[in-house]
């Protein structure tokens, strides 16, 4: 038994956290390759290396996936200090390379010198598609930086190959990511680039992107649905997501055939970003004026948000709640109570649905089954959960209000 435990301990030394082992980099200059300060790591690697996010068989494992900043030409290398087969018989290491090759498209190099030579071609890289929006961000280190948002589609020369390289980042930063069939002409692609100077030339670095699928709505409309959105980690926290989402929203608002804009299985962070952008867009609409907010959410609000900004009723209702909170003196008990009831009325919807389901159950469930379901829908528990939901919602709303105030 002692021998088994000793063997297990020795084998445990050959386990590596794949989120730490995978080293990602966006390279602009040759010196970036050896600069650890430009390296970033995945948030997730379970789609390649299992739920434990562990690779077995190596000590000191480093999986290098380096990309040229613009065209995303790729260097892929695997390094390690020791491999399990060198020390033990009949123990096989994980196929590290095979799992990466399933994600990274062909055409990458495994030679660092060849990769550095590809940087010389970055001056030839230009953003795909048509320019939608230009904006600047102030950086303490670099001063004013200029960014561009472009709309592209699969017909743009070279875009298909570029997109295959770009979407590899999804696997590391979106928990349930999947690759899309980019050849379907209903896909729109929106890309963010940073302009930068190198040896007197203007070059472009990839910042992030969004994919949108255009669904048909009878009889003659479309419903763009946001599928994936990612701002690459070196650029996160700088406001690029809000700039991208607002630019995309304004683009679709300009198209008369668009019914409204939705998102597929949005994450919590995306919902917060969308709330922020939609509040910015709606706060100037007449129906959302301060003197109308205390009268409650109205059909006129829903209609104006839909007609002018392609915002559906559900999202318009959240915008109304945020703007009403901003316009409400919450230190006034009566006004605070009115606001609280207004929000809880919406939040109570799922509980009301449960009550309707319970009424149906009474007709077909055995007594012991009914008791079980009634326990799950206890009134006191519902009130407690409702209060918790309300507090979470209001806290999120306050952050959005603070962010908008900071931008004013």
8 Å CB contact between 105 and 165: yes
Measure the CA–CA gap between 79 and 111, rounded to whole angstroms.
13
* Residues in CB range of 322: below 8 A, 6 or more apart: 275, 279, 397, 400, 401
Per DSSP, 151 falls in state: E
Tokens of 115: 């990769």
Give the Å distances, CA to CA, from 372 to 236, 350, 363, 377, 400: 46, 19, 15, 9, 40
* Residues in CB range of 33: below 8 A, 6 or more apart: 25, 27, 66, 112, 115, 116
Active-site residues: which are they? 264
Per DSSP, 204 falls in state: E
Handedness of CA 324, 328, 330, 336 (dihedral sign): negative
Measure the CA–CA gap between 26 and 206, rounded to whole angstroms.
9
Nearest to 33 by CA among 111, 103, 99, 107: 111
Q: Which residue has the tokens 């692609």?
A: 189
């Amino acid at each position: 038994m002692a021998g088994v435990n000793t063997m297990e301990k020795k084998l445990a030394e050959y386990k590596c956290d794949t989120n730490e082992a995978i080293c990602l980099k966006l390279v602009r200059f040759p010196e970036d390759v050896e600069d650890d300060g430009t390296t970033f790591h995945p948030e997730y690697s379970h789609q390649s290396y299992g739920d434990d996010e562990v690779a077995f068989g190596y000590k000191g494992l480093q999986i290098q996936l380096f990309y040229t900043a613009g065209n995303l030409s790729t260097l892929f290398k695997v390094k390690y200090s020791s491999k399990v087969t060198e020390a033990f018989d009949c123990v096989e290491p994980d196929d590290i390379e095979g799992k990466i090759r399933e994600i990274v498209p062909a055409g990458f190099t495994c030679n660092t010198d060849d990769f550095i030579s590809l940087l010389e071609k970055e001056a030839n890289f230009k953003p795909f598609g048509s320019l939608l929006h230009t904006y600047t961000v102030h950086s303490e280190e670099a001063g004013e930086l200029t960014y561009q948002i472009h709309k592209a589609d699969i017909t743009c020369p070279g875009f298909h190959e570029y997109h295959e390289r770009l979407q590899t980042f999804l696997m590391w930063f979106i928990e349930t990511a999947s690759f899309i069939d980019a050849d379907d002409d209903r896909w729109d692609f929106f890309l963010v680039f940073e302009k930068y100077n190198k040896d007197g030339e203007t070059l472009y670095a990839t910042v992030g992107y969004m994919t949108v699928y255009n669904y048909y709505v009878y009889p003659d409309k479309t419903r763009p649905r946001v599928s994936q959105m990612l701002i690459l980690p070196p650029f996160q926290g700088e406001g690029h997501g809000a700039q991208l989402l607002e630019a995309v929203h304004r683009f679709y608002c300009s198209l008369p055939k668009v019914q409204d804009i939705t998102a597929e299985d949005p994450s919590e962070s995306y919902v917060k970003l969308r709330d922020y952008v939609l509040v910015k867009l709606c706060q100037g609409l007449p129906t959302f004026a301060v003197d109308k907010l205390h009268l409650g959410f109205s059909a006129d609000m829903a209609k104006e948000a839909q007609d002018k900004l392609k915002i559906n009723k559900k999202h318009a209702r959240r915008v109304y709640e945020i703007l009403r909170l901003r316009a409400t003196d919450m230190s006034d008990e009566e006004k605070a109570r009115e606001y609280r009831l207004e929000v809880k009325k919406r939040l109570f919807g799922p509980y009301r649905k449960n009550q309707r389901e319970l009424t149906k159950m009474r007709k077909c469930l055995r007594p012991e089954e009914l008791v079980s379901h009634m326990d799950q829908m206890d009134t006191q528990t519902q009130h407690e959960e409702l209060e918790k939901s309300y507090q979470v919602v209001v806290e999120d709303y306050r952050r959005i209000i603070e962010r908008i105030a900071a931008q004013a």
